[in-house]
Structure 1
Amino acid sequence: MSIKRACEYFNVSRSGYYAFVNRSPSSLTLENEVLSEIIRAIYFKHKGRYGSRRIQVELKQEHQLAVSRKRIGRLLRKQGLYTKGKRRKYKKQAADRCANPNLIKQNFHANEPNQTWFRDISYVPTQEGMLYCSVFIDCCTLTCAEFAIREHLRDSLVIDSLEVPLHREKPKNGLLIHTDQGSQYTGHRFYEYSRMHHFVHSQSWKGNPYDNAVMESFFKSFKREILPNKPFQTKSQAKLDIIDYLENHYN
């Protein structure tokens, strides 16, 4: 179709069409183009884990750019980029007595490092079988104090992985370790180990994930940001990705 017929079809003048074609882009358009490239680079740098909130922080810290979250979200959507995962809600369950008292009582505050540690285990599916990742989170710094990846769920997964952080951090007697009511923490071996190393064991109420909210929040991010849509092909690849995430990204 000729330009003349196209202009007649859309009911616009030819002069108006040529003025639009020859018009230079506005400063806002140029700014959005440059900003989109920076946001895209940050998004792929963190493997799709960063949404508008964390991209906003990195833009301010690394590039000295103050950009609103709404604008960042709009530019992400325009490029078809969406953060991994989705929000899920827990279902309330009836509480029950626990083997050890709940000393945390949902007070997630510590004055100094190595005062309170949280602990939990997550499943990592692969095409070669299941892996189990056990992680310690320090309540004060919210960093990963130690982790272990094994192919079993025996209590040795928990006990063996405690050796390194206890030797490296050298916490004082009375270190508080909070866990759920998994069998790895309620057995006699973990009980004897806690007495031998003089740490205090606290446990969540049964069916109440809010008592261990630090670990629930961590594993929510962990599963959203590291686990692919399909299981890992090999266990070795899963281990490499988990170690890279915990050591080079999360901490």
Structure 2
Amino acid sequence: MEKNRHQHKVVHLCRHLGVSPSGFYDWQDRGLSARALEDAALVEAIKVVHVGHKRNYGAPRVHKALKNQNLSCSKRRVNRLMKANGIQSTYHASRPGRRSGGYAEVADNVLAESPKATAPGQQWAGDMTYLKTAQGPIYMAAVLDLFNREVIGWGFSRAHDADLITGALEMSLALQENDSGCLFHSDQGSEYRSDIYQDTLRKSDLISSMSRAGTPTDNAFVESFFGTLKNELVHQMTFSSYVECAARVIDYVAFYNEDRLHSSLGYVSPKAYQRVAS
């Protein structure tokens, strides 16, 4: 019943877009979940809305525009999809101080000197990686909660810049609670030392921690996630488009969080580990 309801939503979305749903059903035949198909269709609908002067629309106005077209979706879902696909208001993107060429000093590896997290929201870590599609390269940024290895935020962009990683961090902050003074660990890349990113950390009361130069093992959990993602999904197929790549990765993240058995967590999923611990 739930699957059929999602399929009906996909057909409804495609009709409003004036495109055939056959491509989405082709993906489904190859194993993509109905939820991911619906997300992909919604992303295309958001892109149709987000043109011309409407590029100034943020998630609340985009959500209202979609509702006016009788497209069923929550404001939270629209916000997540916009962040994940780098769709943002041009008004906010061009605010004074939004972009800056300044860079912070390299932070100490605070994480290495800290005890292991005992609850969610104490230690987060992030990084980004390169993904290949038939349309060209796309980059993914991810944020993990180190307590249970859950992927709590992500973003996709054709540019590996400060906006990409900041979007993934902002998604995490919007959807997950964190303690005051929560650590955020990353590498020393210029994106993570940029003013826009460091300002977001400070305003959110997060403490920056950075790996030693040339030492990816200092951020082992995020490296492990990207390695698993590539071994179990990316290296197993060819992505025909940016949309397909993002949809399949998002679908995999849901599996990774909800169902995948993690040896480091006693062979339970991140969500199950958190439920037992809480």
Q: Which TM-score applies when normalising by structure 1?
A: 0.58
In structure 2, relative to structure 1, the CA distance for the partners of 1:250 and 1:173 (3 Å cut) is closer
Secondary structure at the residue paired with 1:145? Answer: strand
Aligned residue in 1 for 2:210: 203
What is the distance in 1 between the residues matched to 2:236 and 2:255?
22
1:192-240 residue CA offsets vs partner (Å, 9 max, x unmatched): 2211111100000011111111111111111111113564222121111
Q: Specify the code of the residue in structure 1 equivalent to 2:231.
A: R
Match of 1:182 among 183, 189, 192: 189
1:11-60 residue CA offsets vs partner (Å, 9 max, x unmatched): xxxxxxxxxxxxxxxxxxxxxxxxxxxxxxxxx99xxxxxxxxxxxxxxx
Aligned residue in 1 for 2:64: none
1:160 Cα deviation from its structure 2 partner? 2.0
Q: How large is the Cα RMSD of the aligned pairs?
A: 2.3
Q: Does 1:153 align with 2:160?
A: yes
1:181 Cα deviation from its structure 2 partner? 1.2
For the pair shown, the structure with the greater C-alpha radius of gyration is 1
Alignment identity in percent?
26
Aligned residue in 2 for 1:213: 220
Match of 1:126 among 133, 146, 156: 133
1:178 Cα deviation from its structure 2 partner? 0.2
Q: Does 1:166 align with 2:173?
A: yes
In structure 2, relative to structure 1, the CA distance for the partners of 1:217 and 1:108 (3 Å cut) is farther
Secondary structure at the residue paired with 2:235? Answer: coil
Q: What does 1:1-251 align with in structure 2 at a 5 Å threshold?
A: 99-105=106-112, 109-228=116-235, 231-251=238-258
1:124 Cα deviation from its structure 2 partner? 0.4
Indicate the structure with greater helix content. Answer: 2
Alignment: residue pair count: 157
1:102-128 residue CA offsets vs partner (Å, 9 max, x unmatched): 011286821000100110101001111
5+ residue gaps, structure 2? 1-29, 32-104, 259-278
**Aligned 8 A contact 2:133 2:241 in 1:** yes
Q: Which TM-score applies when normalising by structure 2?
A: 0.52
**Aligned 8 A contact 2:125 2:146 in 1:** yes
What is the distance in 1 between the residues matched to 2:210 and 2:195?
15
5+ residue gaps, structure 1? 1-43, 46-97
What is the distance in 2 between the residues matched to 1:221 and 1:109?
22
1:32-91 residue CA offsets vs partner (Å, 9 max, x unmatched): xxxxxxxxxxxx99xxxxxxxxxxxxxxxxxxxxxxxxxxxxxxxxxxxxxxxxxxxxxx
